[in-house]
């Protein structure tokens, strides 16, 4: 079982390499360039302020990070295509009469979290991490999907017990919620159609750049917009943003490399 994950990951890396290597025949495929990211763009688990879950979750998260299982999860979700797996369709039932925790997420962000079109289930790197931690600690897990923008309010009102949504711990957010340690790092990219010929922030002058509402990409885009003279278009869900890009209603998207990857490779 363990070995097959590695093989899957390795073949996924190879196929992504091939796709990237052969790109260029289709003029309208999506391409990207990296932009400097202010501070760190890591993901962490978020909790309502003062939650008792912070410590045990953080400890179990760190055990996972140090284990081989984490390497396998990274290969599984970040090395390329996501294959259907038994782990992905596993339901987590509480052991005996244990508590079920409600996790909030915004399932528009593969490979962190997305809706599996075949089963309608929410799957992803974050989901596997949540399953690992809740299983280790003996909790059941229920997942609530909502707009990214609604996650912090959901923690504040106690509607969810924690959030895994590729969420970056920022000083501003820390005023309202608590965070675990960072479990994954990313960088920001500008994604656009190859035919638009965009390769630097200067090229964005006078153009429309899409971002997810409430994300740190929104903040970064607002700052860059002043310097480079582009318009920031703020939308709720990533698939909606990609659709606007494909339809030519926006010219570019400011997003994380890890999430962009799936769109670039398609
Ligand atoms: N890391 C960024 C942030 O914290 C974007 C996360 C978006 N997550 C999502 N599930 N749509 O703002």
Model confidence pLDDT, tens digit, residues 49-105:
999 999 999 999 999 999 999 999 999 999 865 555 544 444 555 555 579 999 999
Q: Is 147 left (phi over 0), alpha (psi -120 to 50) or beta?
A: beta
* pLDDT, tens digit (0-9, with 9 covering 90-100), for 200-236: 999 999 999 999 999 999 999 999 999 999 999 999 9
Question: Considering the chain, what percentage of its residues have pLDDT values greater than 90?
Answer: 77
Q: How far is the CA of 110 from the centre of ligand 1 (A)?
A: 11
One domain for residues 103 and 204: no
One domain for residues 111 and 161: yes
Asked if pLDDT for residue 118 goes beyond 50, the answer is yes
Question: Which pLDDT score, from 0 to 100, does residue 242 have?
Answer: 97
Q: Which domain-ending residue is among 141, 159, 185? A: 185
Which residue range forms the structural domain that includes residue 16?
Answer: 5-40+186-264
One domain for residues 205 and 180: no
End-to-end CA, the chain: 28
Across 14-23, 89-98, 239-248, which has the greatest mean pLDDT? 239-248
Q: How many domains does the chain have?
A: 2
Mutate to test the pocket of ligand 1, among 215, 237, 254, 257 (most ligand atoms within 8 A of CB): 215
Question: Which pLDDT score, from 0 to 100, does residue 173 have?
Answer: 97
One domain for residues 176 and 98: yes
Question: Which pLDDT score, from 0 to 100, does residue 265 have?
Answer: 55
Question: Which pLDDT score, from 0 to 100, does residue 262 have?
Answer: 86
Question: Which pLDDT score, from 0 to 100, does residue 8 have?
Answer: 43
Mean pLDDT, residues 104-121? 97
Ligand 1 atom having least distance to the Cα of 170: 4
One domain for residues 139 and 252: no
Give the predicted TM-score (pTM) of the model. Answer: 0.84
Given a contact cutoff of 8 angstroms between Cβ atoms, the answer to whether 179 and 44 are in contact is yes
Mean pLDDT, residues 226-251? 97
More confident residue, 266 or 136: 136
Q: Which domain-ending residue is among 153, 185, 217? A: 185
Question: Which pLDDT score, from 0 to 100, does residue 79 have?
Answer: 86
Question: Considering the chain, what percentage of its residues have pLDDT values greater than 70?
Answer: 82
One domain for residues 214 and 142: no
More confident residue, 264 or 253: 253
One domain for residues 116 and 221: no
Mutate to test the pocket of ligand 1, among 103, 143, 167, 188 (most ligand atoms within 8 A of CB): 167
Ligand 1 neighbours, Cβ below 6 Å, are: 106, 108-109, 112-113, 148, 165-168, 212, 215-216, 238
In order, the DSSP letters of 70-123 are HHHHHHHHHSSPPPP-HHHH---PPSTTPPEEEEEE-SEETTTEEE-TTT--EE
Q: Which domain-ending residue is among 134, 164, 185? A: 185
More confident residue, 45 or 1: 45
Q: How far is the CA of 213 from the centre of ligand 1 (A)?
A: 9
One domain for residues 15 and 56: no
Question: Which pLDDT score, from 0 to 100, does residue 264 have?
Answer: 86
Residue 237 banded pLDDT, cuts 50, 70, 90: very high
Q: How far is the CA of 148 from the centre of ligand 1 (A)?
A: 7
One domain for residues 127 and 220: no
Question: Which pLDDT score, from 0 to 100, does residue 159 have?
Answer: 97
Asked if pLDDT for residue 193 goes beyond 90, the answer is yes
For the ranges 17-26, 167-176, 242-251, the lowest mean pLDDT is seen at: 17-26
Ligand 1 atom having least distance to the Cα of 41: 1
One domain for residues 168 and 191: no
Q: How far is the CA of 4 from the centre of ligand 1 (A)?
A: 30
> At 115, which CATH number?
3.40.190.10
Question: Which pLDDT score, from 0 to 100, does residue 25 have?
Answer: 45
One domain for residues 27 and 58: no
Asked if pLDDT for residue 6 goes beyond 60, the answer is no
One domain for residues 30 and 71: no
Long-range CB pairs of 26-29, under 8 A, 24+ apart, other chains included? 26/194, 27/193, 27/194, 27/195, 28/193, 28/194, 28/195, 29/193, 29/194, 29/264
Q: How far is the CA of 22 from the centre of ligand 1 (A)?
A: 30
């Amino acid at each position: 079982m363990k070995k097959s994950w590695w093989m899957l990951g390795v073949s996924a890396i190879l196929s992504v390499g091939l796709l990237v290597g052969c790109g260029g025949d289709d003029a309208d495929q999506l391409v990207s360039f990296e932009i400097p990211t202010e501070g760190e763009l890591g993901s962490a688990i978020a909790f309502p302020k003062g939650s008792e879950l912070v410590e045990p979750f953080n400890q179990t998260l760190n055990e996972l990070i140090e284990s081989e299982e984490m390497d396998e999860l990274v290969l599984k979700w970040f090395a390329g295509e996501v294959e259907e797996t038994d782990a992905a369709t596993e339901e987590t039932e509480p052991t005996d009469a244990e508590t079920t925790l409600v996790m909030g997420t915004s399932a528009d962000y593969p490979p962190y979290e997305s809706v599996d079109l075949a089963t309608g289930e929410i799957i992803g790197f974050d989901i596997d991490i949540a399953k690992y931690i809740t299983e280790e600690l003996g909790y059941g897990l229920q997942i609530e999907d909502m707009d990214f923008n609604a996650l912090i309010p959901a923690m504040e009102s106690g509607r969810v017990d924690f959030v895994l949504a590729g969420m970056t711990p920022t000083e501003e957010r820390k005023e309202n919620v608590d965070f675990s340690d960072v479990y994954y790092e990313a960088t920001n990219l500008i994604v656009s159609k190859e035919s638009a010929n965009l390769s630097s922030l200067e090229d964005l002058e006078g153009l429309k750049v899409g971002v997810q509402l409430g994300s740190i990409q929104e903040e970064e885009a607002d700052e860059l917009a002043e310097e480079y003279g582009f318009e920031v278009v703020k939308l709720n869900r990533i698939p909606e943003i990609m659709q606007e890009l494909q339809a030519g209603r926006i010219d570019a998207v400011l997003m994380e490399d890890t999430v962009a990857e799936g769109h670039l490779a398609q």
